[in-house]
Amino acid sequence: MQGKGFFITGTDTCVGKTTIAAAIALNLKRKGLDIGIMKPFATASKKYNSKYKSADVAMLLDITKVKDKYNNINPFFSSLPTAPYTASLIKKSDKVDIAGAVRSYTKLASAHDQMIVEGIGGIMVPLTRTKSLVDFAKAINLPVIIVARFQLGMINHILLTVRACLDYGLSVTGIILNDLTSWNDPVKKEMIVETIEKTSRVSVLSIIPFIENRIPEKVAGILERCPRFMSLESSNLCPGQKY
Ligand SMILES: Nc1ncnc2c1ncn2[C@@H]1O[C@H](COP(=O)(O)OP(=O)(O)O)[C@@H](O)[C@H]1O
Ligand SMILES: [Mg+2]
């Protein structure tokens, strides 16, 4: 059965997943839903602070004010800034327990109306020798929203990500293009969106411009004015697109 909420993945790291996950969570909260958040796997060069190991979790909690147990929200953290599997090769104690992360998700999901779960890097990031982030995403089976950096090369990255999700049986609800570098593209945005939608058969929900300060709150405001996004949220019956 498909879970309630969204799994936020990206075409890469630093594309705006945390920012957009926080904005979506805020948006759903404003609609009166009880939202849980999860960042199952996080790596960084160091712990964020004494309270939150992961800066992403700190931002998601700051926006949502969720009070769940930290270890359920973020079961895996490594202070090696690399893929979780690589971290586990370097440091034996940084072994990923995917089944444990799924159990944490189940606990959180049963306590909330909907879950917003942020991935790590892109969808094929290795968690173990044989399992990738996509395996975890399939285990929790939330509909996927793909965040892509709006820049040259994004079409290929988006198509690869959509293909991987569909190959693993996930449904892809939509794509959000994040213009976080204010890319000066000589090609009209509409043509890029049309290319992405026609080739991936997934809707582009929104294009987020470069924003200064209080970014998640402003992104939430942009999404609120975006009919495609709002119609998704209201029902959350997101069948996704299939080839
Ligand atoms: N639309 C935007 N405008 C300006 N800065 C942005 C935007 N989206 C994200 N950022 C910034 O880009 C950086 C990476 O975003 P983040 O959400 O952490 O990405 P990810 O979770 O994919 O690594 C952060 O510093 C964030 O504040
Ligand atoms: Mg992040």
Rounded to 5 degrees, φ, ψ at 110 are: -75, -15
Mean of the per-residue pLDDT values for the chain?
A: 93
Residue having the nearest C-alpha atom to atom 14 of ligand 1: 14
Contacts of 136 (CB under 8 A, 6+ apart): 40, 41, 98, 101, 102, 127
Structure tokens at 230: 């709002």
The architecture that CATH gives domain 5-232 is: 3-Layer(aba) Sandwich (3.40)
| Spans of the chain, pLDDT less than 50 | 234-243
- Residue 231: the pLDDT is 82
Find the 239 Cα to ligand 1 centroid distance in Å: 28
Ligand 1: nearest atom to the Cα of 20: 17
Per-residue pLDDT reduced to its tens digit, 180-211:
999 988 899 999 999 999 999 999 999 999 99
Is the minimum distance from the CB of 22 to ligand 1 under 6 angstroms?
no
CA distance 153 to 22: 26
Instruction: For Cα atoms 225, 24, 239, give the angle at the middle one, nearest 5 degrees.
Output: 90
CA distance 228 to 226: 6
Instruction: For Cα atoms 198, 160, 210, give the angle at the middle one, nearest 5 degrees.
Output: 75
Per-residue pLDDT reduced to its tens digit, 62-93:
999 999 999 999 999 999 999 999 999 999 99
- Residue 233: the pLDDT is 56
Sign of the torsion formed by the C-alpha atoms of 234, 225, 149 and 196:
positive
Q: Within 112-214, where are the H helices?
A: 133-140, 154-167, 189-200
- Residue 78: the pLDDT is 98
> What are the domain boundaries of the chain?
5-232
Which of the listed residues 7, 11, 14, 118 should we mutate to test ligand 1's pocket, taking the one with most ligand atoms within 8 A of CB? 14
> What's the predicted TM-score (pTM) here?
0.95
